[in-house]
Chain A
Amino acid sequence: MSAIEVARGSFRDPSGFVYTRDGTLYRQVNRTFAADFDAVAASGLFEELAAAGLLVAHEMESPALAATESAHAVLRPEKLPFISYPYEWSFGQLRDAALLTLDLQRRALERGFTLRDASAYNVQFRDGRPVFIDTLSIGRHAEGTPWVAYKQFCEHFLVPLALMAHTDVRCGLLLRQFIDGVPLDLGSRLLPTRTRLSPSLALHVHLHARAQRKYEHADVQSVAGGRRMSRSALLNFVTSLRDAVEGLSWTPAGTEWADYTSDNNYTDRAHEAKKALVRDLVAPLKPRVAWDLGANTGIFSRVLRDAGVPTVMSFDIDPAAVERNYREIKRSGERGVTPLVLDLTNPSPAQGWAHDERMSLANRGPADVVIALAIVHHLAISNNVPLERVAAFLARLGRSLVIEFVPKSDSQVKRLLTNREDVFPTYTRDGFEEAFAYHFALVDRRPVEESERWIYLFQRRDPELP
Protein backbone atom coordinates (compact mmCIF):
# COMPACT_ATOMS: atom_id res chain seq x y z
CA MET A 1 0.00 0.00 0.00
CA SER A 2 1.48 3.37 -1.04
CA ALA A 3 1.60 6.20 1.49
CA ILE A 4 -0.01 9.32 -0.04
CA GLU A 5 0.26 12.67 1.70
CA VAL A 6 -1.31 15.81 0.21
CA ALA A 7 0.88 18.93 0.60
CA ARG A 8 -0.50 21.13 3.35
CA GLY A 9 -1.06 24.31 1.37
CA SER A 10 -2.43 22.50 -1.68
CA PHE A 11 -6.20 22.37 -1.21
CA ARG A 12 -7.70 25.56 -2.61
CA ASP A 13 -7.27 24.83 -6.31
CA PRO A 14 -9.87 22.50 -7.87
CA SER A 15 -7.64 22.08 -10.92
CA GLY A 16 -5.13 19.94 -9.06
CA PHE A 17 -2.90 19.48 -6.04
CA VAL A 18 0.54 18.44 -4.89
CA TYR A 19 1.19 15.26 -2.92
CA THR A 20 3.90 12.81 -2.05
CA ARG A 21 3.68 9.11 -2.68
CA ASP A 22 6.32 7.03 -0.96
CA GLY A 23 8.39 10.18 -0.54
CA THR A 24 8.29 11.23 -4.21
CA LEU A 25 6.64 14.55 -5.05
CA TYR A 26 3.80 14.55 -7.61
CA ARG A 27 1.30 17.08 -8.93
CA GLN A 28 -2.10 15.76 -9.95
CA VAL A 29 -3.99 17.55 -12.73
CA ASN A 30 -7.73 17.08 -12.27
CA ARG A 31 -10.09 16.39 -15.15
CA THR A 32 -11.77 19.79 -14.63
CA PHE A 33 -8.54 21.43 -15.84
CA ALA A 34 -7.73 18.93 -18.58
CA ALA A 35 -8.45 21.19 -21.58
CA ASP A 36 -6.33 24.06 -20.21
CA PHE A 37 -3.46 21.81 -19.18
CA ASP A 38 -3.36 19.97 -22.49
CA ALA A 39 -3.41 23.25 -24.43
CA VAL A 40 -0.48 24.71 -22.47
CA ALA A 41 1.44 21.42 -22.66
CA ALA A 42 0.91 21.17 -26.43
CA SER A 43 2.18 24.74 -26.94
CA GLY A 44 5.60 23.91 -25.51
CA LEU A 45 5.31 26.78 -23.02
CA PHE A 46 6.15 24.58 -20.01
CA GLU A 47 9.42 23.49 -21.62
CA GLU A 48 10.26 27.04 -22.74
CA LEU A 49 9.74 28.43 -19.22
CA ALA A 50 11.62 25.56 -17.57
CA ALA A 51 14.55 25.92 -19.99
CA ALA A 52 14.72 29.63 -19.14
CA GLY A 53 14.87 28.72 -15.43
CA LEU A 54 11.57 30.50 -14.78
CA LEU A 55 9.41 27.44 -13.97
CA VAL A 56 10.26 24.21 -12.17
CA ALA A 57 10.63 21.41 -14.68
CA HIS A 58 8.37 18.37 -14.50
CA GLU A 59 8.14 14.90 -15.99
CA MET A 60 4.87 13.33 -17.07
CA GLU A 61 4.16 10.22 -15.03
CA SER A 62 1.78 7.29 -15.30
CA PRO A 63 -1.83 8.14 -14.32
CA ALA A 64 -1.65 5.00 -12.19
CA LEU A 65 0.31 7.11 -9.69
CA ALA A 66 -2.63 9.51 -9.22
CA ALA A 67 -3.87 10.19 -5.70
CA THR A 68 -7.58 10.26 -6.57
CA GLU A 69 -9.91 9.07 -9.33
CA SER A 70 -10.46 12.64 -10.59
CA ALA A 71 -6.99 12.72 -12.15
CA HIS A 72 -6.40 13.67 -15.78
CA ALA A 73 -2.61 13.61 -15.58
CA VAL A 74 0.19 13.17 -13.07
CA LEU A 75 3.38 15.23 -13.11
CA ARG A 76 6.57 14.70 -11.16
CA PRO A 77 7.98 18.18 -10.52
CA GLU A 78 11.46 18.88 -9.29
CA LYS A 79 11.47 18.74 -5.48
CA LEU A 80 12.91 21.80 -3.78
CA PRO A 81 14.98 21.29 -0.63
CA PHE A 82 13.31 24.10 1.32
CA ILE A 83 10.00 25.94 1.06
CA SER A 84 10.16 29.62 2.05
CA TYR A 85 7.40 32.19 2.33
CA PRO A 86 7.13 35.82 1.13
CA TYR A 87 7.29 37.15 4.69
CA GLU A 88 10.75 35.58 4.92
CA TRP A 89 12.11 37.34 1.84
CA SER A 90 14.13 40.52 1.68
CA PHE A 91 13.05 43.48 -0.40
CA GLY A 92 15.11 42.39 -3.40
CA GLN A 93 13.79 38.84 -3.22
CA LEU A 94 10.15 39.98 -3.19
CA ARG A 95 10.91 42.40 -6.03
CA ASP A 96 12.54 39.67 -8.13
CA ALA A 97 9.64 37.31 -7.40
CA ALA A 98 7.27 40.05 -8.63
CA LEU A 99 9.27 40.57 -11.82
CA LEU A 100 9.38 36.81 -12.42
CA THR A 101 5.58 36.64 -12.10
CA LEU A 102 5.16 39.48 -14.60
CA ASP A 103 7.67 37.90 -16.97
CA LEU A 104 5.67 34.67 -16.89
CA GLN A 105 2.43 36.54 -17.49
CA ARG A 106 3.96 38.35 -20.48
CA ARG A 107 5.29 35.12 -22.01
CA ALA A 108 2.00 33.36 -21.35
CA LEU A 109 -0.05 36.16 -22.94
CA GLU A 110 2.16 36.15 -26.03
CA ARG A 111 1.17 32.50 -26.50
CA GLY A 112 -2.53 33.04 -25.78
CA PHE A 113 -2.37 31.92 -22.16
CA THR A 114 -2.53 33.72 -18.83
CA LEU A 115 -1.63 33.34 -15.18
CA ARG A 116 -4.87 32.47 -13.44
CA ASP A 117 -3.47 33.70 -10.14
CA ALA A 118 -0.52 35.80 -9.05
CA SER A 119 0.13 34.55 -5.55
CA ALA A 120 3.59 35.22 -4.15
CA TYR A 121 3.43 31.65 -2.80
CA ASN A 122 3.74 30.46 -6.41
CA VAL A 123 7.38 31.52 -6.26
CA GLN A 124 10.17 29.77 -4.42
CA PHE A 125 13.89 30.41 -4.14
CA ARG A 126 16.04 27.65 -5.60
CA ASP A 127 19.77 28.08 -5.25
CA GLY A 128 19.15 31.69 -4.25
CA ARG A 129 17.11 32.46 -7.39
CA PRO A 130 13.35 32.84 -7.79
CA VAL A 131 11.51 30.13 -9.68
CA PHE A 132 7.79 29.68 -10.35
CA ILE A 133 6.46 26.43 -8.95
CA ASP A 134 2.73 26.38 -9.69
CA THR A 135 2.51 24.78 -13.11
CA LEU A 136 -1.29 24.79 -12.98
CA SER A 137 -1.43 28.58 -12.62
CA ILE A 138 -1.03 28.81 -16.40
CA GLY A 139 -4.26 28.40 -18.33
CA ARG A 140 -6.03 29.58 -21.46
CA HIS A 141 -6.65 33.29 -21.87
CA ALA A 142 -10.18 34.33 -22.86
CA GLU A 143 -9.73 37.06 -25.50
CA GLY A 144 -11.09 40.45 -24.49
CA THR A 145 -10.97 39.84 -20.75
CA PRO A 146 -8.75 41.68 -18.23
CA TRP A 147 -6.19 39.96 -16.00
CA VAL A 148 -8.14 38.17 -13.31
CA ALA A 149 -5.12 38.17 -10.97
CA TYR A 150 -4.37 41.91 -11.21
CA LYS A 151 -5.63 42.67 -7.69
CA GLN A 152 -3.84 39.66 -6.25
CA PHE A 153 -0.58 40.70 -7.90
CA CYS A 154 -0.87 44.19 -6.42
CA GLU A 155 -1.68 42.89 -2.93
CA HIS A 156 0.95 40.16 -2.90
CA PHE A 157 3.75 42.16 -4.48
CA LEU A 158 3.26 45.81 -5.40
CA VAL A 159 1.68 47.08 -2.17
CA PRO A 160 4.20 45.40 0.20
CA LEU A 161 7.11 46.48 -2.02
CA ALA A 162 5.85 50.08 -2.14
CA LEU A 163 5.43 50.07 1.65
CA MET A 164 8.93 48.65 2.12
CA ALA A 165 10.41 51.23 -0.25
CA HIS A 166 8.42 54.31 0.81
CA THR A 167 7.36 53.68 4.42
CA ASP A 168 9.58 51.17 6.24
CA VAL A 169 11.27 47.98 5.11
CA ARG A 170 9.75 46.18 8.11
CA CYS A 171 6.35 46.56 6.45
CA GLY A 172 7.31 43.39 4.58
CA LEU A 173 6.30 41.56 7.75
CA LEU A 174 2.68 42.57 7.08
CA LEU A 175 2.68 39.63 4.69
CA ARG A 176 2.93 37.35 7.71
CA GLN A 177 -0.41 38.62 8.97
CA PHE A 178 -2.08 39.11 5.59
CA ILE A 179 -1.22 35.81 3.96
CA ASP A 180 -3.35 36.63 0.94
CA GLY A 181 -1.59 39.92 0.41
CA VAL A 182 -1.65 43.36 2.00
CA PRO A 183 -5.10 44.84 1.26
CA LEU A 184 -5.11 47.65 -1.28
CA ASP A 185 -7.00 50.04 1.00
CA LEU A 186 -4.56 49.49 3.85
CA GLY A 187 -1.57 49.97 1.54
CA SER A 188 -3.10 53.14 0.14
CA ARG A 189 -3.60 54.52 3.65
CA LEU A 190 -0.12 53.61 4.90
CA LEU A 191 1.80 54.94 1.91
CA PRO A 192 3.04 58.54 2.10
CA THR A 193 0.95 61.16 0.26
CA ARG A 194 3.80 61.84 -2.17
CA THR A 195 3.28 58.37 -3.70
CA ARG A 196 0.04 59.71 -5.20
CA LEU A 197 2.24 61.78 -7.50
CA SER A 198 3.84 58.65 -8.93
CA PRO A 199 1.69 57.73 -11.98
CA SER A 200 2.20 53.98 -11.52
CA LEU A 201 1.50 53.89 -7.77
CA ALA A 202 -1.38 56.34 -8.20
CA LEU A 203 -2.97 53.95 -10.71
CA HIS A 204 -2.11 50.51 -9.39
CA VAL A 205 -2.45 51.21 -5.66
CA HIS A 206 -4.40 54.38 -4.82
CA LEU A 207 -6.89 54.44 -7.70
CA HIS A 208 -7.07 50.66 -7.59
CA ALA A 209 -8.06 50.78 -3.90
CA ARG A 210 -10.76 53.36 -4.67
CA ALA A 211 -12.09 51.37 -7.62
CA GLN A 212 -12.22 48.23 -5.55
CA ARG A 213 -14.08 50.02 -2.76
CA LYS A 214 -16.52 51.70 -5.15
CA TYR A 215 -17.26 48.75 -7.42
CA GLU A 216 -16.83 45.83 -5.02
CA HIS A 217 -20.26 44.39 -5.81
CA ALA A 218 -20.77 45.96 -9.25
CA ASP A 219 -21.60 44.17 -12.48
CA VAL A 220 -18.37 44.59 -14.44
CA GLN A 221 -19.88 44.56 -17.93
CA SER A 222 -22.58 47.11 -17.18
CA VAL A 223 -20.16 49.54 -15.47
CA ALA A 224 -17.49 49.12 -18.15
CA GLY A 225 -20.07 49.61 -20.89
CA GLY A 226 -19.28 46.37 -22.67
CA ARG A 227 -15.61 47.33 -23.13
CA ARG A 228 -13.18 44.57 -23.98
CA MET A 229 -9.47 44.43 -23.36
CA SER A 230 -7.22 43.53 -26.25
CA ARG A 231 -4.18 41.39 -25.68
CA SER A 232 -1.88 44.30 -26.53
CA ALA A 233 -3.68 46.43 -23.94
CA LEU A 234 -3.14 43.64 -21.42
CA LEU A 235 0.54 43.47 -22.31
CA ASN A 236 0.76 47.23 -21.81
CA PHE A 237 -0.81 46.76 -18.38
CA VAL A 238 1.81 44.14 -17.54
CA THR A 239 4.54 46.54 -18.73
CA SER A 240 3.05 49.28 -16.58
CA LEU A 241 3.12 46.97 -13.55
CA ARG A 242 6.70 46.07 -14.36
CA ASP A 243 7.64 49.76 -14.51
CA ALA A 244 5.93 50.25 -11.14
CA VAL A 245 7.90 47.39 -9.55
CA GLU A 246 11.19 48.38 -11.16
CA GLY A 247 10.66 51.95 -9.97
CA LEU A 248 10.76 50.80 -6.35
CA SER A 249 14.09 50.59 -4.59
CA TRP A 250 15.48 50.23 -1.12
CA THR A 251 19.09 50.57 -0.04
CA PRO A 252 20.23 48.47 2.91
CA ALA A 253 22.45 50.61 5.08
CA GLY A 254 23.51 51.39 8.57
CA THR A 255 21.84 48.68 10.63
CA GLU A 256 23.73 47.05 13.45
CA TRP A 257 23.92 43.63 11.82
CA ALA A 258 24.59 44.56 8.24
CA ASP A 259 27.76 46.22 9.53
CA TYR A 260 28.54 43.39 11.96
CA THR A 261 31.14 41.54 9.97
CA SER A 262 33.25 44.68 9.64
CA ASP A 263 32.51 45.66 13.24
CA ASN A 264 33.10 42.60 15.45
CA ASN A 265 35.83 41.84 17.92
CA TYR A 266 37.61 39.16 15.90
CA THR A 267 41.11 39.64 14.60
CA ASP A 268 41.54 38.62 10.97
CA ARG A 269 43.49 35.59 12.15
CA ALA A 270 40.77 34.54 14.59
CA HIS A 271 38.15 35.00 11.88
CA GLU A 272 40.04 32.75 9.47
CA ALA A 273 40.64 30.22 12.25
CA LYS A 274 36.92 30.19 13.01
CA LYS A 275 36.13 29.54 9.34
CA ALA A 276 38.56 26.61 9.26
CA LEU A 277 37.14 25.26 12.49
CA VAL A 278 33.56 25.35 11.23
CA ARG A 279 34.64 23.73 7.96
CA ASP A 280 36.50 20.96 9.83
CA LEU A 281 33.53 20.23 12.06
CA VAL A 282 30.85 20.25 9.35
CA ALA A 283 32.55 18.61 6.34
CA PRO A 284 32.82 15.07 7.84
CA LEU A 285 29.06 15.10 8.53
CA LYS A 286 28.41 15.33 4.75
CA PRO A 287 25.12 17.20 5.25
CA ARG A 288 22.74 17.77 2.34
CA VAL A 289 20.96 20.71 3.94
CA ALA A 290 22.40 23.21 6.43
CA TRP A 291 20.67 26.06 8.20
CA ASP A 292 22.89 28.96 9.19
CA LEU A 293 21.07 30.84 11.98
CA GLY A 294 22.16 34.43 12.50
CA ALA A 295 24.03 34.27 9.21
CA ASN A 296 24.37 38.03 8.79
CA THR A 297 25.57 38.56 5.22
CA GLY A 298 26.33 34.86 4.78
CA ILE A 299 30.08 34.54 5.26
CA PHE A 300 29.79 31.23 7.11
CA SER A 301 26.99 30.07 4.82
CA ARG A 302 29.55 30.24 2.05
CA VAL A 303 32.07 28.35 4.19
CA LEU A 304 29.48 25.55 4.47
CA ARG A 305 28.71 25.68 0.76
CA ASP A 306 32.41 25.54 -0.08
CA ALA A 307 32.76 22.60 2.31
CA GLY A 308 30.38 20.67 0.02
CA VAL A 309 26.93 21.32 1.49
CA PRO A 310 24.62 21.55 -1.55
CA THR A 311 21.84 23.56 0.12
CA VAL A 312 22.53 26.24 2.69
CA MET A 313 19.69 28.34 4.09
CA SER A 314 21.16 31.58 5.37
CA PHE A 315 18.84 33.13 7.99
CA ASP A 316 19.15 36.48 9.68
CA ILE A 317 16.84 38.80 11.60
CA ASP A 318 18.09 41.91 9.81
CA PRO A 319 16.47 42.65 6.43
CA ALA A 320 19.49 44.79 5.50
CA ALA A 321 21.93 41.92 6.10
CA VAL A 322 19.70 39.51 4.16
CA GLU A 323 19.38 41.99 1.32
CA ARG A 324 23.15 42.37 1.14
CA ASN A 325 23.53 38.60 1.16
CA TYR A 326 21.01 38.29 -1.68
CA ARG A 327 22.62 41.08 -3.72
CA GLU A 328 26.00 39.38 -3.39
CA ILE A 329 24.49 36.14 -4.74
CA LYS A 330 23.04 38.03 -7.70
CA ARG A 331 26.26 39.96 -8.31
CA SER A 332 28.56 36.95 -8.17
CA GLY A 333 26.24 34.42 -9.80
CA GLU A 334 27.13 31.94 -7.08
CA ARG A 335 24.85 29.05 -6.16
CA GLY A 336 23.98 26.96 -3.13
CA VAL A 337 23.07 29.71 -0.64
CA THR A 338 19.57 31.10 -0.10
CA PRO A 339 19.20 34.02 2.30
CA LEU A 340 15.99 34.50 4.31
CA VAL A 341 14.74 36.89 6.99
CA LEU A 342 14.06 35.16 10.29
CA ASP A 343 13.67 36.35 13.87
CA LEU A 344 14.74 33.29 15.84
CA THR A 345 13.00 34.62 18.96
CA ASN A 346 9.71 34.69 17.03
CA PRO A 347 10.17 32.27 14.13
CA SER A 348 7.62 31.86 11.34
CA PRO A 349 4.61 30.03 12.81
CA ALA A 350 2.31 27.43 11.29
CA GLN A 351 -0.60 29.50 9.99
CA GLY A 352 -3.37 29.87 7.47
CA TRP A 353 -6.38 27.59 7.37
CA ALA A 354 -6.49 25.22 10.36
CA HIS A 355 -2.93 26.33 11.28
CA ASP A 356 -1.86 24.09 8.47
CA GLU A 357 -1.54 26.07 5.26
CA ARG A 358 1.91 27.54 5.84
CA MET A 359 4.46 25.55 7.78
CA SER A 360 6.34 26.75 10.82
CA LEU A 361 10.10 26.91 10.58
CA ALA A 362 10.44 23.78 12.74
CA ASN A 363 7.98 21.92 10.49
CA ARG A 364 10.28 22.54 7.55
CA GLY A 365 13.16 20.81 9.30
CA PRO A 366 15.08 19.16 10.58
CA ALA A 367 18.15 20.30 8.70
CA ASP A 368 21.05 17.89 8.59
CA VAL A 369 23.12 20.48 10.41
CA VAL A 370 22.32 23.79 12.06
CA ILE A 371 25.05 26.30 12.72
CA ALA A 372 24.47 28.97 15.33
CA LEU A 373 27.51 31.21 15.54
CA ALA A 374 27.61 34.25 17.81
CA ILE A 375 23.93 34.19 18.63
CA VAL A 376 23.63 32.28 21.89
CA HIS A 377 24.43 35.39 23.96
CA HIS A 378 21.74 37.36 22.13
CA LEU A 379 19.17 34.67 22.85
CA ALA A 380 20.20 34.08 26.46
CA ILE A 381 21.08 37.61 27.56
CA SER A 382 19.31 40.09 25.24
CA ASN A 383 16.14 38.00 25.05
CA ASN A 384 16.17 36.20 28.42
CA VAL A 385 15.70 32.77 26.85
CA PRO A 386 17.09 30.15 29.28
CA LEU A 387 19.89 28.05 27.75
CA GLU A 388 17.85 24.87 28.28
CA ARG A 389 15.12 26.29 26.04
CA VAL A 390 17.65 27.38 23.43
CA ALA A 391 18.94 23.80 23.37
CA ALA A 392 15.42 22.31 23.20
CA PHE A 393 14.43 24.45 20.20
CA LEU A 394 17.70 23.94 18.31
CA ALA A 395 17.27 20.18 18.79
CA ARG A 396 13.99 20.45 16.85
CA LEU A 397 15.68 22.32 14.00
CA GLY A 398 18.67 20.14 13.22
CA ARG A 399 20.17 16.68 13.66
CA SER A 400 23.63 18.11 14.28
CA LEU A 401 24.49 21.47 15.76
CA VAL A 402 27.59 23.60 15.48
CA ILE A 403 27.26 26.36 18.04
CA GLU A 404 29.52 29.06 19.37
CA PHE A 405 29.63 29.91 23.05
CA VAL A 406 30.51 33.54 23.75
CA PRO A 407 31.57 34.04 27.40
CA LYS A 408 30.75 37.02 29.61
CA SER A 409 34.36 38.17 29.34
CA ASP A 410 33.86 38.76 25.59
CA SER A 411 33.48 42.42 24.64
CA GLN A 412 30.23 41.74 22.76
CA VAL A 413 28.64 40.22 25.88
CA LYS A 414 30.04 43.00 28.05
CA ARG A 415 28.32 45.45 25.73
CA LEU A 416 25.00 43.65 26.18
CA LEU A 417 25.40 43.83 29.97
CA THR A 418 26.55 47.46 30.06
CA ASN A 419 23.25 48.92 31.18
CA ARG A 420 21.53 45.96 32.72
CA GLU A 421 21.84 43.83 35.79
CA ASP A 422 23.62 40.54 35.28
CA VAL A 423 20.87 38.08 36.23
CA PHE A 424 22.48 35.23 34.31
CA PRO A 425 24.59 33.30 36.87
CA THR A 426 24.38 30.09 34.82
CA TYR A 427 25.64 31.76 31.65
CA THR A 428 29.06 30.11 31.84
CA ARG A 429 30.73 27.42 29.75
CA ASP A 430 29.82 24.82 32.37
CA GLY A 431 26.24 26.06 32.50
CA PHE A 432 26.06 26.02 28.71
CA GLU A 433 27.35 22.45 28.45
CA GLU A 434 24.99 21.31 31.20
CA ALA A 435 21.99 22.97 29.54
CA PHE A 436 22.73 21.34 26.18
CA ALA A 437 23.56 17.91 27.62
CA TYR A 438 19.89 16.90 27.99
CA HIS A 439 19.10 17.31 24.27
CA PHE A 440 22.51 16.81 22.69
CA ALA A 441 25.51 14.55 22.91
CA LEU A 442 28.80 16.42 22.80
CA VAL A 443 30.88 15.30 19.81
CA ASP A 444 33.65 17.89 19.80
CA ARG A 445 34.56 21.27 21.27
CA ARG A 446 37.37 23.58 20.31
CA PRO A 447 38.51 27.06 21.32
CA VAL A 448 38.56 29.78 18.69
CA GLU A 449 42.10 31.05 18.25
CA GLU A 450 42.91 34.47 19.72
CA SER A 451 39.54 34.70 21.44
CA GLU A 452 37.79 33.37 24.52
CA ARG A 453 35.03 31.80 22.48
CA TRP A 454 34.45 28.07 21.98
CA ILE A 455 32.78 26.18 19.18
CA TYR A 456 30.88 22.97 19.91
CA LEU A 457 29.67 20.16 17.72
CA PHE A 458 26.61 18.42 19.15
CA GLN A 459 24.53 15.50 17.93
CA ARG A 460 20.93 15.52 19.07
CA ARG A 461 20.02 12.65 21.36
CA ASP A 462 16.45 11.99 20.23
CA PRO A 463 16.42 10.74 16.63
CA GLU A 464 12.62 10.50 16.83
CA LEU A 465 12.19 14.27 17.00
CA PRO A 466 10.42 15.50 13.84
Chain B
Amino acid sequence: MYIDPAAGSMILQLVGAGLVSILAFTKSVRRSIATGLKSIFGRRRAE
Protein backbone atom coordinates (compact mmCIF):
# COMPACT_ATOMS: atom_id res chain seq x y z
CA MET B 1 0.00 0.00 0.00
CA TYR B 2 1.16 3.55 -0.61
CA ILE B 3 1.52 5.29 2.75
CA ASP B 4 2.64 8.68 4.01
CA PRO B 5 6.41 8.32 4.45
CA ALA B 6 6.32 10.76 7.43
CA ALA B 7 9.12 13.33 7.11
CA GLY B 8 10.28 13.06 10.73
CA SER B 9 10.68 9.29 10.44
CA MET B 10 12.66 9.57 7.21
CA ILE B 11 14.95 12.23 8.68
CA LEU B 12 15.48 10.20 11.86
CA GLN B 13 16.52 7.19 9.78
CA LEU B 14 18.91 9.21 7.61
CA VAL B 15 20.45 11.02 10.56
CA GLY B 16 20.39 8.06 12.95
CA ALA B 17 21.68 5.46 10.47
CA GLY B 18 25.30 6.05 11.47
CA LEU B 19 24.55 5.67 15.17
CA VAL B 20 22.49 2.53 14.61
CA SER B 21 25.28 1.04 12.48
CA ILE B 22 27.85 1.75 15.22
CA LEU B 23 25.56 0.16 17.80
CA ALA B 24 25.03 -2.86 15.53
CA PHE B 25 28.81 -3.18 15.00
CA THR B 26 29.48 -2.91 18.76
CA LYS B 27 26.85 -5.53 19.42
CA SER B 28 28.28 -7.94 16.87
CA VAL B 29 31.79 -7.48 18.33
CA ARG B 30 30.40 -8.12 21.83
CA ARG B 31 28.62 -11.25 20.58
CA SER B 32 31.77 -12.51 18.86
CA ILE B 33 33.81 -12.02 22.05
CA ALA B 34 31.14 -13.77 24.11
CA THR B 35 31.01 -16.67 21.64
CA GLY B 36 34.82 -16.90 21.61
CA LEU B 37 35.04 -16.90 25.40
CA LYS B 38 32.28 -19.45 25.63
CA SER B 39 34.01 -21.77 23.19
CA ILE B 40 37.38 -21.45 25.01
CA PHE B 41 35.98 -21.98 28.50
CA GLY B 42 33.46 -24.53 27.30
CA ARG B 43 36.29 -26.58 25.74
CA ARG B 44 38.39 -26.38 28.91
CA ARG B 45 35.47 -27.52 31.02
CA ALA B 46 34.88 -30.43 28.65
CA GLU B 47 38.56 -31.43 28.96
Contacts and interface: CB of A to CB of B under 8 A. Distances in A.
Interface of A: 12-15, 116-117, 119, 134, 136-137, 146-152, 154, 199, 203, 207-208, 210-220, 223-224, 227-230, 232-234, 236-237, 239-240, 243
21 contacts: A117-B2, A148-B5, A148-B10, A149-B3, A150-B9, A151-B5, A152-B3, A199-B23, A203-B19, A210-B8, A213-B8, A218-B7, A220-B10, A223-B7, A223-B11, A227-B14, A227-B17, A230-B17, A233-B20, A236-B21, A239-B24
Contacts, number: 110
A240 B23 contact: yes
With most chain B CB atoms within 10 A of its CB, the pick from A116, A213, A214, A236 is A236
A96 B3 CA distance: 23
Contacts of A234: 13, 17
A195 to B, nearest CB: 17
Interface of B: 1-3, 5-21, 23-24, 27
Nearest to B27: A243
A223 B7 CA distance: 10
Contacts of B15: 224, 227
B10 A146 contact: yes
B22 to A, nearest CB: 9
B17 A212 contact: no
Contacts of A117: 1-3
Given A136-B1, A234-B13, 14 more contacts: A12-B1, A116-B2, A117-B1, A117-B2, A154-B9, A203-B19, A208-B8, A211-B12, A212-B12, A220-B7, A224-B15, A227-B15, A236-B20, A240-B20
Nearest to B5: A148
